[in-house]
Structure 1
Amino acid sequence: MTSIPDRAAAPPAPRAPLFRGSGMGLLLVAPALAAIALLYALPLVRSVVFAFVAEEGGFTLDHLRTAFELYGRDVVFSILVALASLALIAISSIAIGGYLTLGATPWAVSALRWLYRWPLFIPFIVAGQTARTFLAKNGLMNGLLMESGLLDPLSAQSFLDWRGLVLTFAWKQIPFVTLLLAGAMASIDRSSVEAARNLGAGRFRCLIQILLPQVKGTLLVGLILSLVQIMSVLSVPMMVIAGNPTMMTAMMAHRVTYYGDYPVANALGLFSYLLTAVAAWLYLRMTLRDEASR
């Protein structure tokens, strides 16, 4: 009597893909692509093109020349304020993120984790108004210092100048960069930090020599995004500082509102584009160099 050999179970037939081709995928992302094209890409291209178009329709550099002659100081002022703000943001974010990761006092870490995020939920226009009432000559800061006896009333001065801009931009963007940085530090393997601590290294040395080099890319991303925010905000410079020089965004709004001069305003915008483009190029270059050295 012969036995029939058991047949091996046949593998299940592969299922047909739910959506064949890329047509459905393109259809799903079409609304997002259309919004990006209409709200960001098209205005960007138009502003760049019309910065070089004369009234009669030909190519010209007169708009750039006019923008630099009239607002050259504002361009330099904007760059210096942005760099000072980014430096303060970087130092503060590294300090806060490092303490959240390496801090040895649980209640202090919990309090700091709870407090530093508040500015994330405050719009720039509210931050500008808060800075205006806090940093004025008769504002809250000087009032508290005079009440505590640390400041003579005759020595009180207003911080509604470049210092107010730097403090306001930094106060608003520090929580954002710290959130990115603290998350990146928390994801790092703690064995290297614990080994350094066992060998006698302090928390500051562990932060600078172990944690910071590993989260350098995250820090640069946060600073570039903060630079874009600083160069695009209009409410803060208009509320905090009155007079010249001021940020380029305020001068662009002034040129459009009072003169209807869009070409010169577009030419001013080119300086903002170039600054952010240089920052992005430096980041990409450093990232590619780090990847090549691995």
Structure 2
Amino acid sequence: MRWPSSDRVVFPAGVVATLGVLVVVFYYPVGRVLLAAIDLGGTPLAPIVDVLADPFYVGLAHHVFADPTGIPAGVGSWLAAGGPLSAIEFGLFGFTAYQAALSALASVALGFPGAYVLARYDFWGRRTLTSLTIVPFVLPSILVAVGFQAMFGQTGLLNDALAVVGLGPIDVLYTLPAIVLAHAFYNAPLVTRFVTGAWEGVDAREIESARAMGATPIRAFRDVVLPQLLPAVLSATVLAFVFSFMSFPIVLSLGGLELQTVEVWLYAKVQSLDLEAAAALAVLESLLSLSLMYLYLRYESGQIASRSGGRSRSRRSLLDGLGTLRDPRRLAVLAYGCIAAVVFLGPVLSLLVESVTGPEGAFTTAYYEFLLAQQASAAVGTIAPLTAIRNSLLFALGTLAVAVPMGVIVSLVATRGGRGSRLAETLLSAPIAVSGIVVGLGLLQTLVFGVDVFGHRLTVTGWLAVVAAHAVAAYPFVTRNVTPALAGIDDRIVDAARSLGATRFRALLTVTLPLIVAPLVAGAAFAFAISIGEFDSTVLLAEGGASHTMPVALERYVGNRSIGPSLGPATAMGSVLLAVTAASFVVIDRVGGRYDG
């Protein structure tokens, strides 16, 4: 009997296996949630129409669904008020989009200058700094929220510093600027990564030609450099908008009651068991985020296609390239460095300082001793910190085992061409644009509670359910790293191996994979760190102390006041989570040789 060749088996089998995993742990559970919004037993789409017709959710736009003939009256009342922007009722979706847009713009404003410095100048520690720029992005969002509380709270590090010089206190928490700044902390490094890569790929000869024809440096940047940066900027902006739109712990912790978003309201509906309204919100949020994700993939493909492969501009020394101390460029870089240090280092340092500072400002280890006491406690509901650390690391390893192969398969589908490859990649990358709350809720209603399969009750609970949710959340980041590298491989190299007798599968193993090791390891680092920091779905799926993770433990400690009114226990747990997350990401990233150039 002649067995089929590996060319005809391995890749199709990988695609089938990937689709099988997605159907079981993503499409089916999420589909069950979304079907609740269709209400097949009653009026079709009634829950969605109810949301769209409610001014609380969509503001002035509710006239379109509640009373189409009353639209002129609604617009008329706005015009009668003089047409001020403040008179428009945007509703929950409008405010969520508004804060996400502000957050995306703030992320670009904070990340773009950093890309300029990293792409154009060389200085001591540049490689390490480049490696660390992505650490804020992979930090757990609940950790970022606690860091901002430790810095900007009434007893935070900022107000303590202002008190020394006789100023303050200032009240920043529970305001829109606090949310926007926290989102910028989270997403600006992503902008820096995207734009730095595009900037380094700009052909120096085009700039030199423009300057030789009389263009000023500003005009050469506007006419030559900026058009080549635009796809990267737009891609990063879309991603920052999607992540800010679906942000949960940051808004929950820093927003207060008056600054709730769709994601927080969705969680509240799940908690109150109003699953029909939650499903309607999930449908509308997912449609918006998936549409934006499709646009992002289009921009990414345009970015890859526009790479010229020309000669990159050499970096100048930061000290020599900026002239004297009075040089405006030097002053601008120094000012940006100060702002970046406050925004990025401030919350992290505040977290660490608060964890060892007592109520009177003296050094203390009481908060870490509290964690050890929790570890030794046998009280019901107690979260043991060491158990949470162990769970997080084990879940992250399990996530790697599932997410990395899935991410590579999706990248291969995306780069094999064809009319439907971009649409297929969008569908296969859908988890990146679907709320973790929705995924967690879907898994609860299906695999966790049990599904009848051929007369048998199939249940997936505990660590297996958590790993499944983490893998679904993480594998698109593997794809995002691997796809551009696969698309950039010269087909002639693979063809040469094939002409020498190698099968497609052997060419993949011996030619293609060695060329994508660095981005593959970088994607694995993302997957590992994202699993460690995943909170949205884990908070719904964790069953008692046996499957609690570090972010869930941190969320529990935020409200703990066992040793006083400070954030001490939460900052101590957050410091542990910070150390584990940063060390894991940097070690995996550097071992893989991601920054070898």
Distance of 1:102 and 1:203 partners within structure 2: 13
Aligned AA (1:84): G
Seen in structure 2, the aligned counterparts of structure 1 residues 39 and 163 have a Cα distance that, compared at 3 Å, is farther
Q: 1:42 and 1:111, CA in 2 relative to 1: closer, same or farther beyond 3 A?
A: closer
Q: CA deviation at 1:181?
A: 0.7
Q: Using the alignment, how far apart are the partners of 1:161 and 1:267 within structure 2?
A: 26
Aligned equivalents of 1:13 and 1:170: distance in 2?
53
- 1: CA distance between counterparts of 2:362 and 2:449? 50
Structure 2: gaps (5+ residues): 1-211, 219-322, 376-383
Does structure 1 conserve the Cα–Cα contact (< 8 Å) formed by 2:533 and 2:581? no
Matches within 5 A, 1:260-279: 262-279=567-584
1:86 paired with 2:369, answer no
**Counterpart for residue 129 of structure 1:** 441
Q: Name the structure, 1 or 2, with higher relative contact order (CA <8 Å, separation 6+).
A: 1
Alignment RMSD (CA, Å): 3.5
Write the distance in 2 (CA, Å) between the matches of 1:128 and 1:39: 32
SS at match of 1:244: helix
Q: Give 2:590's aligned residue.
A: 284
Match of 1:119 in 2: 431
Letter in 1 for 2:347: P
Partners of 1:286 and 1:33 in 2: CA distance: 31
User: What TM-score do you get using the length of structure 1 for normalisation?
Assistant: 0.75
The answer to whether the Cα contact below 8 Å between 2:470 and 2:534 also exists between their aligned partners in 1 is no
Alignment CA distance shift 1:287-1:42 (3 Å): same
Partner of 1:61: 365
Query: What secondary structure is seen at the aligned counterpart in 2 of 1:54?
Result: coil
Structure 1 unaligned regions, length at least 5: 1-11
Tell me the amino acid that sits aligned with residue 533 of structure 2: S
Q: Residue in 1 aligned with 2:353?
A: 49
User: Structure 2: how far apart are the matches of 1:22 and 1:250?
Assistant: 49
Q: Is the 2:396–2:529 contact (alpha carbons within 8 Å) kept by the matching residues of 1?
A: no
Q: Identify the match of residue 255 of structure 1 among 548, 553, 557.
A: 557
CA distance in 2, matches of 1:98, 1:237: 30
Q: Whole-Å Cα distance in 2 between the matches of residues 258 and 61 of structure 1? A: 17
Cα distance in 2 between the residues matched to 1:13 and 1:168: 56
Q: For the residues of structure 2 that align with 1:58 and 1:152, how far apart are their CA atoms? A: 60
SS at match of 2:358: coil
Give secondary structure in 1 for the equivalent of 2:543: coil
2:506 is matched with which residue: 184, 205, 227? 205
Q: TM-score, normalised by structure 2?
A: 0.40
Q: Within 2, Cα distance between the matches of 1:56 and 1:210? A: 62
Counterpart for residue 171 of structure 1: 472
Amino acid at match of 1:132: L
Distance 1:258 1:99, change over 3 A: same
Q: C-alpha deviations, 1:132-187, integer Å up to 9, x for none?
A: 2232233xxx24xx2xx2x523xx32x23111111111112212321321221110
Identity of aligned residues (%): 22
Contact 1:51–1:267 under 8 Å retained in 2: yes
Structure showing greater radius of gyration is 1
Give me the whole-angstrom Cα distance separating, in 1, the residues matched to 2:540 and 2:533. 15
CA 1:204–1:267 in 2, change beyond 3 Å: closer, same or farther?
A: farther
Name whichever of 197-206 and 25-34 sits farther off.
25-34
2:595 and 2:387 map into 1 onto residues whose CA distance is: 35
Q: Deviation digits for residues 230-289 of structure 1, max 9, x if unmatched?
A: 333322111112311311111111111243662222222222222233231342254289
Q: 1:209 to 1:59 in 2, by over 3 A?
A: farther
Asked whether the equivalents of residues 164 and 240 of structure 1 are also in contact (C-alpha less than 8 Å), the reply is yes
1:5 corresponds to: none
* 2:391 paired with 1:77: yes
